[in-house]
Amino acid sequence: MQPRTLEVFDDLGPAGAALAAGRSDHHLRLYAGGTLAADLAAPARPPRPGVPYPNLLVLPQWRTEELLRDRLAELGGAVEAGRSCGAATSATAARLRPRSRCGPTCASCTRPRSSPRCDRRQVSPARWGPP
């Protein structure tokens, strides 16, 4: 996992769990003609100002997906396996909006929640659909 991905995970929530499950210390062996030419240890570097995640993190894909699914569940959502969106284009994807808990319009002002004038754009991460 790249450092930038860890920054995104930090925003989403599972960065700490990823760091705990992954490995940042690396060991590298180089061979030339079938003979060991170099045996290098690359210890993890500490974070510093402006670079909170300076290391590459080795984490299996299944574990990465598990961390993201767990975080989505904490937020009230769920991954629905076996579902697809069909043929989405950038034009149709732009029209997809998260549905609110009380419907596609704001109960207090009856404007669509996507309206810039609606200040009550609270959405549930578990409910996505067309506007």
Q: What is the pLDDT of residue 95?
A: 56
* CA separation for the pair 112, 105 (Å, rounded): 4
Q: Within a domain: residue 23? A: yes
State yes or no: pLDDT of 41 exceeds 80.
yes
pLDDT band, residue 125 (cuts 50/70/90): very low
Q: What is the pTM of this model?
A: 0.58
Q: Within a domain: residue 84? A: no
* CA separation for the pair 76, 9 (Å, rounded): 18
Q: Interior CA angle at 42 toward 50 and 17, to 5°?
A: 60
What are the DSSP calls for 13-33, one per residue? S-HHHHHHHSB--EEEEEEET
* CA separation for the pair 41, 10 (Å, rounded): 27
61 and 110 housed in the same domain = no
60-116 pLDDT, tens digit per residue, is 999 999 999 999 999 988 887 776 666 666 666 555 544 444 444 444 444 444 444
27 and 73 housed in the same domain = yes
Domain of residue 120, residue span = 94-131
